[in-house]
Amino acid sequence: MEPLFGVVLGLILAVASAARDSCTCATNKWAVCAQDGPGNCTCRLAGSDQPVDCSTLTSKCFLMKAEMIPLKEKRLWRPPQGVSDSDGIYSPDCEDSGVFRARQCNQSSTCWCVNSAGVRRTEKGGSGLSCSELVRTRWIYLELTHKRSSSAFALPDVAKALTQLFESRYKLHPKYIAAIKYDPPLIQIRLDQNKKPRWDVDIADVAYYFEKDVNNDSVFPSNSTLTVSVNGDALAIEKLWIYYVDEKPPEFCMRQLAAGISAVVTVVVLTAGIGIAVLLLLRWLRTRTYKKFECKEMREIKAPSLE
């Protein structure tokens, strides 16, 4: 009887351990998961009381908010009423859906407007700044370079490898990859998402996950490193640049442009003034020399002859 009881107890412990180990988030290393019922695993992100859907990407706004929390607080679930010392650190305001709020402010009551990718699109102002709408980022341009290898890659092979990467790792439907251009070692990718159905991932979230992967700070679990292979050869990415294009142009004021134009005008005026002054000085010197020479000749003519 006792051996049978030991076997049953071992099986129960093994099942419980497996259930505990399986209660993790496959798409977010910062999520804290807990088994709150038989077969029910709930994951939440540090810095937000919103549950995390681990079958898809976490919104960029929630990720940025989690990054602002000290590392030791990421490892434990911080209660909503908890307060952390975040002076000088920008923690974004997010809607319950994970979307950025159009107006963002920091601790010193400085505010600005952002697009749907969380990128500032206006000058910074006071707490009275009004942002009428959250302008959607429609296009995202990715430019990246890879390490040169002995074997050259063909454009169709590079495009196929990157399309598979974005589809399998970041859950992005290939229809949102508008173009891929390759001029070794430069690769250009354009993501186009005019309208996003609720069930599709946002290209802003995809770009953020990709950027974190390239910078060796992946949001995925630590054992899930970014690897891109083209026909069996590694495509080692070195640098990445991201450019955001919104449905409406940014609303930066003309102060910086006016300052730049004023500086250029000042330099031109000063240069012209100095040039004119130099010309006048040279002309005066030539006139003065000519007059001195003329006076000398006149004196020689008027002088009485000794003969």
18-72 pLDDT tens trace: 444 568 888 988 888 888 777 788 888 876 667 889 899 999 998 888 887 764 4
Helix (H/G/I), strand (E/B), else coil: 107: coil
Confidence of residue 210 (pLDDT cuts 50, 70, 90): very high
Confidence of residue 147 (pLDDT cuts 50, 70, 90): confident
- Indicate the burial class of 28 (C-beta count within 10 angstroms; 0-12, 13-18, 19 or more): buried
Phi, psi torsion values for 12, nearest 5 degrees = -65, -45
The dotted CATH code for 137-246 is: 3.30.70
CA pair distance 277, 283, nearest whole angstrom? 10
| Res 39: pLDDT | 77
Check pLDDT > 50 for residue 5: no
Average pLDDT, rounded, for the chain? 77
Check pLDDT > 70 for residue 9: no
Alpha carbon of residue 55 to chain centroid: 24
Helix (H/G/I), strand (E/B), else coil: 241: strand
Q: Which residues contact 236 (CB under 8 A, 6 or more apart)?
A: 146, 147, 149
Q: What is the mean pLDDT of residues 173-201?
A: 91
| Res 17: pLDDT | 41
- Indicate the burial class of 170 (C-beta count within 10 angstroms; 0-12, 13-18, 19 or more): buried
75-119 pLDDT tens trace: 433 333 332 223 234 688 999 889 999 999 887 788 999 999 998
Check pLDDT > 70 for residue 189: yes
| Res 142: pLDDT | 92
| Res 160: pLDDT | 94
Q: What is the pTM of this model?
A: 0.68
Confidence of residue 303 (pLDDT cuts 50, 70, 90): low
Q: What is the mean pLDDT of residues 128-143?
A: 91
CA pair distance 226, 210, nearest whole angstrom? 9
| Res 175: pLDDT | 94
251-300 pLDDT tens trace: 876 444 444 455 555 666 677 778 788 888 777 777 766 555 555 555 55
The percentage of the chain sitting over the pLDDT mark of 90, rounded to a whole number, equals: 29
Q: What is the mean pLDDT of residues 145-171?
A: 88
Q: Name residue, tokens 């992946």.
A: 218
